[in-house]
Chain A
Amino acid sequence: MSQQRKMTLRLDNGICFHGESFGYESSTAGEVVFNTAMCGYPESLTDPSYAGQMLVLTYPLIGNYGVPDFCIQPNGLAQFMESERIHVKALIVSSYSGNYSHWNATESLSDWLKREHIPAITGIDTRQLTMILREHGVMTGKLLLDDDPHDVEDAQYENVNFVEQVSCKQVIRYQEGAGKKVILLDCGVKHNIIRHLLQRQVEVIRVPWDYDFNQLQADGLFLSNGPGDPNTCQAAVHNIRTFLSSRQVRPLMGICMGNQLLAKAAGAEVYKLKYGHRSHNQPVRMEGTNRCFITSQNHGYAVDQRTLPSDWKPYFTNMNDLSNEGIRHTMRPWFSVQFHPEAASGPTDTDFLFDDFVSLL
C-alpha cells in the first residue's frame, strides 16, 4: 500500500475531495483552476500566469515522463521550463504515475514538487471537480493534510496584484545589439515568448510591469502574458496608453494579459467569462477569413468586443463561444491575441504571429 499521507481538497463551497499527498507535505490555499491539456506539466507548472492558483489537470495520468534537468542557459532562460520556478500553489491530479520514464528526465515530478515546496494531491476525481468548477466559476479552496490539525488562511485571489509578484524587478537585456530593439513588458512572461523573439534576431529589453518604458529607445513594444485580474494593473495600462498616443508610431504585439491590457488602454472593457478557456484545443478564427487555428489558452477574462473604439477591430474570435481572441488597430501596426502563440505547452499553429510582429519592426 502507498505510504503517502492522506490529504483533502476542500472547496470554498464545502465540497471535499480526498486523496494522497505526492508533493511537499504542507497545507495550502489558492484559487482552484483546471486545464484540459494532455501533456506539458513542467511548462504549465512554471507558467507565471498560474501564480496564486491551485492547478487541476483533467488528464488523469500525470508524471509519466518525469521532469527534465532544471538548467538555466547562459542567456538567463530556463532550458525546458517557462520561468525560473514553479508558480502554481498546488497541483491536483487523478493518478500520479510514481515512476517515470524518459530520456531527458532527471527527477520525478514528486521530487521536483518537494524540492520547490509545492503541495500536490493525487487520487482525485478531477473530472467531477472540473464540472463543479465549471458550473460554479472560479472558486478558492484549501489543500489540507488530514493528520495536520493546523488550518491555513483562506486564499485571497480577488483584487490581488499577482502581476507584481511575478514580474521581473529590474530591466534585463537579451541579445544586446542583435538587431531591432523590442521592449518586453513583463507581466509574468513565459520564457518561450522571449525565446521566440530572440530566435528572430531582435534585442529584447525586458522591463518590470509598471516600468515607464516610454522613456526607452526601442523599435517596438511587446506585452506579455500574466496572472490574475487585468484591473489590478493600472500602471501598465497607463504606460501603454502613452505608447499608443505617442507621435512616433511603433509596432506593438500583446499576448493574453497583454491583449486585455491593450484593450483597456484602447478604451475597451474586460469582463469575466462564465467558462474560462483553459486548454490546448481552443479553436479561433481570424476575422474576415476562413483561416482557423488551434491554440493554447489559459484565461478567465475576455475583452468585450462591443466596447472597442471604432479604430480597433476584432482580430480573432473563439469558435466555441464567440468570445474575443484578439484585437488589432485598423491602421496602425498594433495587435494582440488572447491565446498563446508561443505555445509551450500546446500547439504551435500561430507562431507566425511573431514573424508578423518582427517584420513590422
Chain B
Amino acid sequence: MKLNNLKKVLVLGSGALKIGEAGEFDYSGSQALKALREEGIETVLINPNIATVQTSEGVADHIYFLPVEATFVEKVINKERPDGILLSFGGQTALNCGVELFKKGVFEKYGVEVLGTPVQAIIDTEDRELFVNRLSEIDIKTISSQACSNISQAKEAADSLGYPVILRAAYALGGLGSGFCDNEQELLQLAEKAFSFSPQVLVEKSLRGWKEIEYEVVRDRYDNCITVCNMENFDPLGIHTGESIVIAPSQTLTNAEYHKLRELAIKIIRHIGIIGECNVQYALDPNSEDYRVIEVNARLSRSSALASKATGYPLAFVAAKLGLGYGLFELKNSITKLTSAFFEPALDYVVCKMPRWDLGKFRGVDHQLGSSMKSVGEVMAIGRTFEEALQKSLRMIGQGMHGFTDNKDIHIDDIEKALRTPTDKRIFIIAKALKNGYSIERIHQLTKIDLWFLQRLQNIYDTDNALSRVDSLNRLSVELLRQAKRQGFSDFQIARALRLGKQYSMDKAVLLVRARRKQLGVVPYIKQIDTLAAEYPAQTNYLYLTYNAVASDIEPPHDNKTIVVLGSGAYRIGSSVEFDWCGVQALQTIRQNGYNGVMINYNPETVSTDYDMCDRLYFDELTFERVLDIMEAENPKGVIVSTGGQIPNNLAVKLDEQNIPILGTTARSIDNAEDRDKFSAMLDRIGVDQPEWSALTSLDDIHRFVGKVGFPVLVRPSYVLSGAAMNVCSSEAELQHFLQLAAEVSKEHPVVVSKFMVNTKEVEMDAVADKGEIIAYAISEHVEFAGVHSGDATIMFPAQKLYVETVRRIKKISGQIARELNISGPFNIQYLARDNEIKVIECNLRASRSFPFVSKVLKINLIDIATRIMLGLPVQKPHKSLFDFDYVGVKASQFSFNRLQNTDPVLGVDMSSTGEVGCIGADASSALLKAMLSVGMRVPQKSVLISAGDPKDKASMLEPARLLQSKGFQIYATKGTSSFLSAYKIPNTRVYMNDEDGGPKVLQMLHQKQIDLVVSIPKVVDTEHIDNGYKVRRAAVDLNIPLITNARLAGAFINAFCSISIDDLDILSWEELK
C-alpha cells in the first residue's frame, strides 16, 4: 500500500534537450506527476525546460524554472520542505544531482525521503567498479573492465586487456567521452577527453560484433518483478544503443536465450534493490549463449520511454506508483483497466526504432557512429512485418527518404569501407550494396549485422526489383501489389519503381497508385495495441495501420465531433519538444470543448503519443498517404495543421486538394506565406519592407545581384551538396568557395540570395489571430544580432531594449499581414530592426518554437486561444497588457557540440542547438543568469579568455572586459585582442597559439584547466574552420570549459554574473510570479 506520510513530493526534471537526454524525460516526468496527482499528493517540479508539457499548468502544483543543480535544488527544498523526492524521472541530470545532494547530506538535513530506488543502489550501478563487484557477488558476468583514474593507468589496462578496447567515462550521459580504441595512440587521445568529463575512466575489452539486447525490468517493494519488454539492436555491439536501429521484441533469440537473459535481469534488479524501473543491457555472443551485462540504468531512460510506447505499458507511471509504496499487484493494466499491472505485455506486432541524425547541419563533424551518441531524436514504427516497420521508420525520420528503396541515389566511393565503418547513412549504404550485387553474407561479414535482418532487407530489395519489371500500373498484379504493401512500400515507392514519374508528376503518380490500389481492394487496416495480443478484450485507443491484416479492430465513429491534430514527428534540430507542447495543448482544448481529439504522431519521446492525451492515437506516419488513409477512416470535422511545426504545415495544400477540412487559416494562405515569391509580392503590395532578395539560377545572375546589393549576402541553395544549407558570404572568395563546394546552381535548383544585414536586431512576433484580427501577441527580442539563427539565439521576453516606435511599427505591420492573409490561428513573424527601420524576414502561419515560452511567461496560453478560434468558438481578447508584469523571461539555447566531434562550435544562420530553457527573473540579468546556468554555463571563478576576431567584436568586449577586471578576474587574451585591450588600458595576459613563439600556450592552459570561461568570437560569421580560433573553441568544448562565441551574449552574461551573485537569485515558483 501507499506510504501514508507523503503529502508533498519534489520531482527533478532533466533540463534542456541535449543529445543523449531529450524529450523522453518530459514524458517520464509528466507520467510521474500524473501518478502523484492521482494520489492527491502536492507536487513540486524543478525544470528549466519551459517548452515541456510537465512544466505546464495543471501538471505540477509548484513549478520552478531553475537549473537542476544541487545548489538550486537545495534552495527549493529549503523553501518547499517536501516529504519525498523522485530522482529517476529526469535522466542522468536528475540522477547525478540526486547523488550529489545525498552525499552532501541534504536529504537527511531536511528530512526528505528518496522514493523508489535507494540512492545507494543508484551509486552501485553508476560506479563501474562497485557495479562489477555487485554483479559478481551473484555470479553474473560483466565486461571485464578496469577503472582508471589517470591516463597511464588507462594505458596499462589496455595493454593487459589487449586492443581493441572501449573507453568509458563514468557518470556521463549517453556515453559521453566514450569510444573504441584500436591502438595506443587512439587510447591516449580519447582518454584525455574522457578524463575531462569524469574523474574515472573505464577500459574494457571490446566485444564488437556481439548482439546487443536490452530488458526493461520493474520491481516493487514486495520483491515482485516483471520484464516489460526486451529489445534487440539491429546494429551489433559497438554502436551506442541511442544510435542503433532497435527492434522490439527481440527477433533472433530462441526461447532459451530470451528467458535466460530475462531471468538474469530479474536476479540483478533484486540484488541491486531497485524499486521502480531499470534497464539492463546485454551483449550476447552470436555463436553461443554466452553473455555479458553491459550496464544497468537505475532510472527511466530513453529505452524505457521506447518500451512504454512499444508495449503500451506505462513504465514511468507505474514506477512512480511503486515509489510511493504500492505493489504491482495493487495496480491495474492501464490499457485494459481490468487486468493486473503485474504482467508482461505480449506484442502481436513488431516495433522498429530509428534514430534521427542532423549531422549535415554541422560542418566538419565526424559522421562515424560509435559508442557515443550523436543522434538528436528518434522515431518508432509499428508493423506486422519487420519490412513494414522498417520502411515506415525510414520515412518517419523525415530526411527525404521514401523507404529502403526508391530513394535518390547516394554517392559512395568505397562501399566496402562504408559498410565496415558505420555512419548515419548505414542503412542506405546497405541498400546501395545490394544494388551493386553484394550478397547478404558479404554484407554480414563487413557489418556483423545479423543475417536475419539482412534477409528482410533483401526481401524488400527483391520486391522492388519485381515491381520495376512491371511495365505499367494496369499490369501490376494484385498479389505483387499486396506483397509490396505488406512489406511497407509506400505508393510513392511503387510509383517510382514502376517509373510512373516519366509520364506524370510524382504527386499525380502517387494518386494513381492509390486509386488503383483501392480499386483492387488493397487497403490498410487499423489495429489496436492492447498489451495482451487479443487474449482478453480491451478498450484501447492506441492504434496503428498495417497491410498485414484482413480486418480493422475498430471503426471510428462518424459523428462530426472528431478533430485530428497532426503531430510534429521526430525531434530534430529546429523542431522538438515545443511542438509537442503545442499539440498537447491543442488536444486539451479540443477535448475540453466536447470534441474528440485524435493525434497522429510517431515520436516515442513525446507526451502527445501518450494514449491518455487523446481520444484516439494513431502511432503512424505523417506522410500524405498515411494521413489521407486515417482521414478516410476518421472522416473528421476538421484537422489542425498549425501546432506541429513544419511537417503538418507542409501537408496543408495537398490535404486541402483532397477536400480534407483544414481548420483555421486556409491552405491557400499558408501557401501564400510559404511561397517566397507570393509572400514577397504581397509584402510589396501592402508596402512592407523586406531585405532585398532574388532566386537565381546561374552564377552570372548571382554575381550581378551581389554587385547591386553588396556584401555580405545570405545564400540559401535549394539543393545542398554538403555542409550546411545556408551561409553568409562576406566576400567574392567566400561566395565562390561556398557555391562550388556546397551547392548546386541550376534551373531546377535555384539559389536564393538576400542582402544580409549586420548589427541589426532581430525581433519575434508570436501571435494568434481570428479572421485576420490579432487577438493576442508577444513581442520578444534576440540578445544576439541578426545572423544567429532564431533557434540558437538568446531571447528576452518582453523585449527589453526596443524603441517604443519599433514596437508600434511591428504591431502595425503584423496586423496588416494578419489581415492580408486572413489568419485564423497561430502565427509567427520574424523582423529585423535597426534604428526603427523594420524589415520582415519571414512569416509562418503556424505556432513557432517560442510559443510555449511566451505563453508561460505571459501566463496566457496562446495555443488554447488559437485552438478555440480554429474550432470556431468565441474568444476574448486577453485584457492583460503585455508589459503588465514585473519580471523578465529569457530563453537560452542548449548546444551539444561536445558530442559532435570535430565540428566548429560557432553559431550561424543555420540552427545548431538541440534544446533550450526558459527562466524567469526579477530583471533581465537574473533571468539570463539562471538561463545560462541551466544550459551548462558556469560562473567563472577567476579567469576568462577573450579572443575576438572582428574589430567590432573587440570593441564590444571592452566594457565586459573592464567589468571583469574591476571584479578581479584574470583576463587572458589572444594576440590581437590582447593589444586591443592593452591599448584601452585593460590589464590582460597575452596567450599564444602553438604556432606562435612565446608562452603561455593557450591550448595547454585549457588542458590544465587554468581558464574558467572562453569567449571566442570568430572573425566573420563563416570562416574556414581550421584556424586557431577553431582550435581554442574545440578544445574548450572537448575539455568541458564554458564557451561563448557571440560578443553580445558574452557581454550580457558577463554583465549578469558581475552584477548579481548566484546566492542572490530569487527562488520563486511560476505561480508566485505576478
Interface size on A, residues (CB 8 A): 59
Q: Is A43 an interface residue (CB 8 A)?
A: yes
What distance in Å separates the Cβ of B528 from its nearest Cβ neighbour in chain A?
9
Residues of A within 8 A of B254 (CB): 39-40, 42, 65, 68, 102, 104
- Chain B CB within 10 A, most for which of A99, A131, A281: A281
Q: Is B348 an interface residue (CB 8 A)?
A: yes
Residues of A within 8 A of B344 (CB): 280-281, 294, 347
Between-chain CB contacts (< 8 Å), 27 pairs:
A1-B479, A36-B534, A39-B254, A40-B254, A60-B349, A64-B251, A65-B452, A97-B452, A98-B455, A101-B450, A102-B252, A103-B287, A104-B254, A127-B549, A131-B553, A134-B534, A282-B343, A285-B342, A290-B329, A291-B222, A291-B223, A292-B328, A294-B343, A320-B343, A343-B259, A347-B263, A349-B266
Residues of A within 8 A of B249 (CB): 38-39, 59
- State whether A95 and B548 are in contact (beta carbons under 8 Å apart), knowing that A64-B251, A279-B535, A319-B329 are contacts in the complex: yes
Q: Is B262 an interface residue (CB 8 A)?
A: yes
Q: Does A64 lie within 8 Å of B252, measured CB to CB?
A: yes
- Chain A CB within 10 A, most for which of B223, B249, B263, B534: B534
Q: Is B731 an interface residue (CB 8 A)?
A: no
What distance in Å separates the Cβ of B388 from its nearest Cβ neighbour in chain A?
9
B-facing residues in A131-169 (Cβ within 8 Å) = 131, 134-135
Which residues from chain B sit less than 8 Å from chain A, CB to CB?
A: 222-224, 226, 249-256, 258-259, 262-263, 266, 286-288, 327-329, 338-340, 342-350, 384-386, 450-452, 455, 459, 466, 479-480, 483, 525, 527, 532-537, 548-551, 553
B-facing residues in A324-361 (Cβ within 8 Å) = 343-349
Q: Does B452 lie within 8 Å of A100, measured CB to CB?
A: yes
Q: Does B328 lie within 8 Å of A345, measured CB to CB?
A: no
Q: Does A319 lie within 8 Å of B286, measured CB to CB?
A: no
Q: Is A313 an interface residue (CB 8 A)?
A: no
Which residues from chain A sit less than 8 Å from chain B, CB to CB?
A: 1-2, 17, 34, 36-40, 42-43, 58-61, 64-65, 68, 80, 94-95, 97-104, 125-128, 130-131, 134-135, 275, 277-283, 285, 290-292, 294, 319-320, 343-349
Residues of B within 8 A of A59 (CB): 249, 346-348, 533
- State whether A320 and B346 are in contact (beta carbons under 8 Å apart), knowing that A130-B533, A134-B537, A292-B329 are contacts in the complex: no
Q: Does B340 lie within 8 Å of A36, measured CB to CB?
A: no
Residues of A within 8 A of B345 (CB): 281
Q: Does B537 lie within 8 Å of A346, measured CB to CB?
A: no
Q: Does B350 lie within 8 Å of A60, measured CB to CB?
A: yes
Residues of A within 8 A of B386 (CB): 61
Question: Other CB < 8 Å A-B pairs besides A128-B549, A134-B536, 16 of them?
Answer: A2-B483, A39-B253, A39-B258, A59-B346, A97-B452, A99-B452, A101-B450, A102-B254, A130-B535, A281-B345, A281-B346, A282-B343, A294-B344, A319-B343, A346-B259, A348-B263
Residues of B within 8 A of A349 (CB): 266
Q: Does A94 lie within 8 Å of B384, measured CB to CB?
A: yes
Q: Does A347 lie within 8 Å of B346, measured CB to CB?
A: no
- State whether A125 and B550 are in contact (beta carbons under 8 Å apart), knowing that A60-B384, A60-B385, A64-B252 are contacts in the complex: yes
B286, B339, B340, B534: the one within 8 Å of A130 (CB): B534
Q: Does A61 lie within 8 Å of B550, measured CB to CB?
A: no
What distance in Å separates the Cβ of B331 from its nearest Cβ neighbour in chain A?
11
Q: Does B533 lie within 8 Å of A103, measured CB to CB?
A: no
B259, B343, B533, B549: the one within 8 Å of A125 (CB): B549
Closest 6 CB pairs of A and B: A40-B255, A36-B533, A101-B452, A345-B255, A319-B340, A101-B451
Q: How far is the CA of A39 from the CA of B232 in the complex (A)?
A: 14
Q: Does B452 lie within 8 Å of A39, measured CB to CB?
A: no
Q: Does A36 lie within 8 Å of B452, measured CB to CB?
A: no
Q: How far is the CA of A39 from the CA of B532 in the complex (A)?
A: 15
Chain A residue at minimal CB-CB distance from B532: A36
Chain A residue at minimal CB-CB distance from B453: A101
Q: Does B535 lie within 8 Å of A275, measured CB to CB?
A: yes
Q: Does A125 lie within 8 Å of B255, measured CB to CB?
A: no
A58, A275, A283, A345: the one within 8 Å of B533 (CB): A58
What distance in Å separates the Cβ of A5 from its nearest Cβ neighbour in chain B?
14
Residues of A within 8 A of B342 (CB): 283, 285, 292, 294, 319
Q: How far is the CA of A41 from the CA of B266 in the complex (A)?
A: 24
Q: Does A58 lie within 8 Å of B348, measured CB to CB?
A: yes
Residues of B within 8 A of A61 (CB): 251, 350, 385-386
Residues of B within 8 A of A348 (CB): 259, 262-263
Chain B residue at minimal CB-CB distance from A95: B385
Residues of A within 8 A of B338 (CB): 320
Residues of A within 8 A of B253 (CB): 39, 65
B226, B288, B340, B480: the one within 8 Å of A103 (CB): B288
- State whether A320 and B339 are in contact (beta carbons under 8 Å apart), knowing that A60-B349, A125-B551, A126-B348 are contacts in the complex: yes
Q: How far is the CA of A101 from the CA of B525 in the complex (A)?
A: 30
What distance in Å separates the Cβ of A136 from its nearest Cβ neighbour in chain B?
13
What distance in Å separates the Cβ of A101 from its nearest Cβ neighbour in chain B?
4
Q: Does A127 lie within 8 Å of B452, measured CB to CB?
A: no
B255, B287, B385, B533: the one within 8 Å of A279 (CB): B533
Chain B residue at minimal CB-CB distance from A17: B550
Q: Does B252 lie within 8 Å of A36, measured CB to CB?
A: no
Residues of A within 8 A of B527 (CB): 127
Residues of B within 8 A of A127 (CB): 348, 527, 533-534, 549, 553
Q: Does B548 lie within 8 Å of A60, measured CB to CB?
A: yes
Q: How far is the CA of A83 from the CA of B452 in the complex (A)?
A: 28
Residues of A within 8 A of B537 (CB): 134-135
Q: How far is the CA of A281 from the CA of B345 in the complex (A)?
A: 7
Q: How far is the CA of A280 from the CA of B256 in the complex (A)?
A: 13
Q: How far is the CA of A319 from the CA of B343 in the complex (A)?
A: 9
Chain B residue at minimal CB-CB distance from A41: B255
Q: Does A36 lie within 8 Å of B385, measured CB to CB?
A: no
Q: Does A290 lie within 8 Å of B224, measured CB to CB?
A: yes
Q: How far is the CA of A134 from the CA of B537 in the complex (A)?
A: 8
What distance in Å separates the Cβ of A122 from its nearest Cβ neighbour in chain B?
11
Q: How far is the CA of A125 from the CA of B482 in the complex (A)?
A: 14
Q: Does B466 lie within 8 Å of A281, measured CB to CB?
A: no
Q: How far is the CA of A37 from the CA of B345 in the complex (A)?
A: 10
Residues of B within 8 A of A345 (CB): 255, 259
What distance in Å separates the Cβ of B400 from its nearest Cβ neighbour in chain A?
29
What distance in Å separates the Cβ of B290 from its nearest Cβ neighbour in chain A?
11
What distance in Å separates the Cβ of B207 from its nearest Cβ neighbour in chain A?
16
Residues of A within 8 A of B252 (CB): 64-65, 101-102
Q: Does B483 lie within 8 Å of A1, measured CB to CB?
A: yes
Residues of B within 8 A of A290 (CB): 222, 224, 327, 329
Q: How far is the CA of A281 from the CA of B258 in the complex (A)?
A: 14
- State whether A125 and B287 are in contact (beta carbons under 8 Å apart), knowing that A1-B466, A320-B340, A345-B255 are contacts in the complex: no
Residues of A within 8 A of B288 (CB): 103
Q: How far is the CA of A346 from the CA of B263 in the complex (A)?
A: 11
Q: How far is the CA of A26 from the CA of B781 in the complex (A)?
A: 76
What distance in Å separates the Cβ of A215 from its nearest Cβ neighbour in chain B?
38
What distance in Å separates the Cβ of B1020 from its nearest Cβ neighbour in chain A?
54
Residues of B within 8 A of A279 (CB): 346, 532-533, 535
What distance in Å separates the Cβ of B931 from its nearest Cβ neighbour in chain A?
47
Q: How far is the CA of A349 from the CA of B342 in the complex (A)?
A: 13
Residues of B within 8 A of A17 (CB): 550
Q: How far is the CA of A34 from the CA of B532 in the complex (A)?
A: 12
Residues of B within 8 A of A126 (CB): 348
Q: Does A128 lie within 8 Å of B551, measured CB to CB?
A: yes
B223, B255, B349: the one within 8 Å of A39 (CB): B255
Residues of B within 8 A of A60 (CB): 348-350, 384-385, 548
Residues of A within 8 A of B258 (CB): 38-40
Residues of A within 8 A of B262 (CB): 347-348
Q: Does B534 lie within 8 Å of A285, measured CB to CB?
A: no
Q: Does B451 lie within 8 Å of A99, measured CB to CB?
A: yes
Residues of B within 8 A of A128 (CB): 549-551
Residues of A within 8 A of B548 (CB): 60, 94-95, 125
Chain B residue at minimal CB-CB distance from A40: B255
Residues of A within 8 A of B525 (CB): 125
Chain B residue at minimal CB-CB distance from A134: B534
